[in-house]
Structure 1
């Protein structure tokens, strides 16, 4: 029986339970993560996710000795809890009606210079979710005793301990002042000072699981739960510990998050949807983001990853994809995506790959991330043409692919033994590729974007 760290990973699309032993993947299970329609608004199906977790823990405990649990989750959800349960449902961040309160919210929202948190659509700013819940659901809101960011909610369900943690509070929420390392003026503006529980480090143990959970899962009663972490920061952890700055991690999935470690914050611009996240050590990290995975799917349709000849065919055809195909994230979230020109059958994935590489390149340039290695992890790491195209666009920087489908969970597992005594597998260098016509294609693409945005 091996001693394992179990990571509960609650994403937008799936919820997973993954077990690790010194970074070695032992076991994993996943299930779809559902959104319920409401009332009072579309919300996360936390009960189904909880039922999955308990069942998966029970199954895992029969095969492995589990010594610790670490939750991780995306950064655009939060839970208002009462003494023993949710006071309000956990809002789906894509709920568009949150925008109805924007005129009033804008009056109390701190400036970008304070929070380094740009205005983003719907509920992607967690502060806007809170304002909506307080103003539109006042009776339910009045029942709340604490506000927990999403990873902390799952830790609370496991332990009964309510805390907050900076990687989640500092993830485009409007609630955190990253330069000063404290809550922003929005907390006072919303009058929610009493709802913010004590801050704890992501790698701090909260205590053992509750007795009823031990009984339901056959886990040992002394199984420890650790404070938990924002999912993109979990992906960053293996590199933050072992790699010299500067470097950039592109964490890819539904979102592409560009995390530039060692980069100054002075070129961040709210208009570009660039921002500062906060790492587990409490330090601000310059970041950019766009909804690359979703946009890729819209442009590509069906098909497998392309190769460089397919990229060159698209370039030669002159077909281009111009942002934005998701309606949220990135410098051009308010423009409607368009494909110009004809793409040969089967080359939709090449067009989508070019598009995502060009957006990544543009955002890195605007942020000033012109030096240091580029490490691609997540779904795009398995797309060699994406990695090679980004490398060809940025020939002064080395590109690496970290083809680890469990990268977020593996990073989160490190928190149970901090600082970690082991390192993650080194990412694979991506060979340089010469792509005919790429520079001219980039110039034409950039000029078309400039015209589209006017």
Structure 2
């Protein structure tokens, strides 16, 4: 008998992943692909959408014809800030513009002259001025610089919803994509911001449905439940929201370390905006306060530099365990030693000053300084909510012994748990279209949940 499964396409900027999950959300199959980028009309790198479409369809049809699996549902998780613009025949009108593509500063200035001031706009939309990273600005840019193309747009779909559209031919919008620093959503009004209506951009955006919506349809002769897609950061958060009964902050670490507070009740404050906070959105339309930090990027360059200075193998940093004696020695006359490459920190010196005798000592110094910045980042996300007593850490730094022990030390009044799941957003996408409930043991069973106790101070 064929095994009943849920299929998920998890589309990252670099890796394109496909998973099959059983009814208990255990992974039973995975497949990866990577595509060389193409360029848009300006020569700027962008997603190879035709190749991606081809891969999606060919892989899914192969799985449908498999003798092993009976696909009952499919959903899609992708990166955000990316629109696909379709004409009345459902054909692509433009490349998938890269959210790192520079935008004309005069055009941005004209936008805030009309719909600002900038601080007020950011506060209402949870979207700091970030050019193309505000996907709503992509539509504004097309309207005012490519009017002939803009007139032909029937629907503009965020990437997760376009993935779904390829299988259903039904154009829809959903909350998590609308709410991820797009500049489109007014969190106070719980509706599109007034600029969207004044510019008429709402006419290009399909009907909004719940992220948990699925379409039951006959696909290639099989009855399949097809989800509407979900923004990857919101998908990664979903298993925690569904399985934890108490308030928490999730620190998702990697190139970016993002501290996510899904229990925020207020709009971003001026200080939070100046600290780089923005909003994501839960599947129910509620705001998620997110404080970002380029932790992994900074760590990678600094750790590489230390291995060269101390003449140790490149992989050494991965195996350094926390040394309490080294920590207390460095703490006695603590001073900041590292000049950061990508992190902004006023306490950092103008040049890196290393007086440490060993690689291990210098590495402890590096981690102490990075954790202090991470602590501030978490506090910004937590805010003044006294009910947040739990801290989850996932991603690359969840295996870093020094990082976890120091974080546990700085948040002694909170319960710190680390999790290990490379499935992250894919699992969240599967859960989003499932009717089953998650219990409190879900993270322990599926995410290798580990408890951490602060070290004893002597």
Do both proteins adopt the same fold according to a TM-score greater than 0.5, normalized to the shorter chain?
A: yes
Alignment correspondent of 1:75? 80
CA offset digits 1:274-326 (Å, max 9, x no partner) = 12322011212222122333333233334342422398387688554455617
Alignment of 1:295 with 2:313, yes or no, is no
Is this contact kept in 2: 1:78–1:90, CA < 8 A? Answer: yes
- Aligned-residue offset at 1:333: 9.7
Alignment correspondent of 1:278? 281
Moved more, 377-386 or 9-18: 377-386
> 1:183-194 residue pairs with structure 2 within 5 A?
183-194=192-203
- SS of equivalent to 2:284: coil
- Aligned-residue offset at 1:382: 2.4
Distance 1:243 1:191, change over 3 A: same
- Aligned-residue offset at 1:393: 2.0
Greater Cα radius of gyration, structure 1 or 2: 2
Alignment correspondent of 2:342? 325
Distance in 1, matches of 2:347 and 2:231, equals 29
Is this contact kept in 2: 1:203–1:418, CA < 8 A? Answer: no
Distance 1:84 1:242, change over 3 A: same
Alignment correspondent of 2:260? 259
- Aligned-residue offset at 1:37: 2.7
Q: Which runs of 5+ in 1 are unaligned?
A: 215-219, 327-331, 437-454
Find 1:385's aligned residue among 392, 402, 406.
Answer: 402
- SS of equivalent to 2:7: strand
Find 2:376's aligned residue among 342, 362, 380.
Answer: 362
Q: Which runs of 5+ in 2 are unaligned?
A: 305-313
- Aligned-residue offset at 1:372: 1.6
- SS of equivalent to 1:395: coil
> 1:47-446 residue pairs with structure 2 within 5 A?
47-61=50-64, 62=66, 63-82=68-87, 83-99=89-105, 101-109=107-115, 111-120=121-130, 122-208=131-217, 214=220, 221-265=222-266, 268=269, 269-301=272-304, 302-303=314-315, 304-305=317-318, 306-309=320-323, 312=327, 318=335, 320-321=337-338, 323=340, 325=342, 332=344, 340-342=352-354, 345=359, 353-367=367-381, 368=383, 371-420=388-437, 424-426=442-444, 427-433=449-455
Distance in 1, matches of 2:364 and 2:351, equals 13
Distance 1:309 1:181, change over 3 A: same
Normalised TM-score (structure 1)? 0.83
Superposition CA RMSD, Å: 3.1
Distance in 1, matches of 2:362 and 2:75, equals 39
- SS of equivalent to 2:195: helix
Distance 1:223 1:429, change over 3 A: same
Distance in 2, matches of 1:420 and 1:28, equals 24
Distance in 1, matches of 2:156 and 2:71, equals 29
- Aligned-residue offset at 1:173: 0.7
- Aligned-residue offset at 1:75: 2.0
Distance in 2, matches of 1:281 and 1:101, equals 33
Moved more, 196-205 or 364-373: 364-373
- Aligned-residue offset at 1:38: 2.1
Is this contact kept in 2: 1:178–1:278, CA < 8 A? Answer: no
CA offset digits 1:86-143 (Å, max 9, x no partner) = 21111111112454532122224451232122223x4221122222222233332322
Alignment correspondent of 1:35? 37
Distance in 2, matches of 1:333 and 1:156, equals 44
- Aligned-residue offset at 1:242: 2.2
Is this contact kept in 1: 2:139–2:201, CA < 8 A? Answer: no
- SS of equivalent to 1:222: strand
- SS of equivalent to 1:72: strand
Is this contact kept in 2: 1:324–1:335, CA < 8 A? Answer: no
Moved more, 415-424 or 270-279: 415-424
CA offset digits 1:14-36 (Å, max 9, x no partner) = 11111111211111112235432
- Aligned-residue offset at 1:168: 1.0
Distance 1:431 1:47, change over 3 A: farther
Distance in 1, matches of 2:370 and 2:195, equals 34
Alignment of 1:45 with 2:55, yes or no, is no
Moved more, 154-163 or 73-82: 73-82
Distance in 2, matches of 1:107 and 1:139, equals 24
